[in-house]
Chains A and B, each alone.
Chain A
Amino acid sequence: MTRGYWRRALPVYLMIVPGLLFFIVFKYIPMVGISIAFMAYSPFDGIGGSEWVGLRNFHRLFAEGDFLALLRNTLMLNLFDVLFFFPAPILVAVLLNEIKAKRFKAAVQTILYAPNFISWVVIVGITILLFATGSGGINQLLAGWGFERIELMTDPSYFRWVWLLQNVWQGAGWGAIIFLAALAAVDPLLYEAAAIDGANRWRMLWHIALPALRNVIVVLLILRMGHVMDLGFEHIFLLQNSMNLDVSEVFETFVYKVGMTQGDYSYSTAVGLFKSIVGLIMVLFVNRLAKQTGQEGVF
Chain B
Amino acid sequence: MRVRASGADRAFAIVVYGLVLAASALALFPLFYVLAISFSTETEYLTRGFYLLPRTFTLEGYLYLMSHPGFMSALRNSVSISVVGTLLNITLTTLMAYGLSKTWLRGRKTLNFVVFFTLLFSGGIIPTYLVVQTLGLLNSFWAVWLTSAVSAFNAIVMRSFFQSVPKELEESARIDGSGEWLLLIRIIVPLSLPAIATFTLFYLAQNWNTYFSAILYLDNDQMPLQVFLKQMLVEDDPSISNASSVAYPYTPAARMSAIVLTALPLLLIFPFLQRYFNQGVMLGAVKG
- Which A residues have a C-beta under 8 Å from some C-beta of B? 5, 8-9, 11-13, 15-16, 18-20, 22-23, 25-34, 36, 47, 91-92, 95-96, 98-99, 106, 108-122, 124-130, 132-135, 137-138, 140-141, 143-144, 153-154, 169, 172-173, 177-178, 180-182, 184, 195, 200-202, 205, 216, 219-220, 223, 226, 233-234, 237-238, 241-243, 255-256, 259-260, 265, 268-269, 272-273, 275-276, 279-280, 283, 298-299
Contact = CB atoms under 8 A, between A and B. Distances in A.
B121 A31 contact: yes
Contact of A272 (B106, B124, B149): B124
Contacts, number: 297
B226 A16 contact: no
Interface in B72-101: 92-93, 95-96, 98-100
B172 interface: no
Nearest to A242: B242
Contacts of B114: 20, 23, 28
Given A33-B127, A276-B122, A141 B49 contact: yes
Contacts of A29: 123, 127, 131
Contact of B226 (A121, A129, A219): A121
B180 interface: yes
B3 interface: yes
Contacts of B116: 299
B230 interface: yes
B96 A26 contact: no
Contacts of A106: 274-275
Contacts of B234: 121, 124-125, 128, 238
Interface residues of B, number: 101
Contacts of A16: 95-96, 99-100, 111
> What secondary structure prevails in chain A residues at the interface with B?
helix
29 contacts: A8-B180, A9-B106, A12-B99, A12-B180, A19-B92, A19-B93, A22-B150, A23-B118, A25-B131, A26-B146, A30-B128, A31-B123, A31-B127, A33-B131, A106-B274, A122-B259, A128-B239, A135-B45, A141-B49, A143-B49, A200-B12, A202-B8, A202-B12, A219-B286, A219-B287, A233-B212, A242-B242, A279-B120, A299-B288
A138 B272 CA distance: 33
A20 B96 contact: yes
A161 B102 CA distance: 47
B24 interface: yes
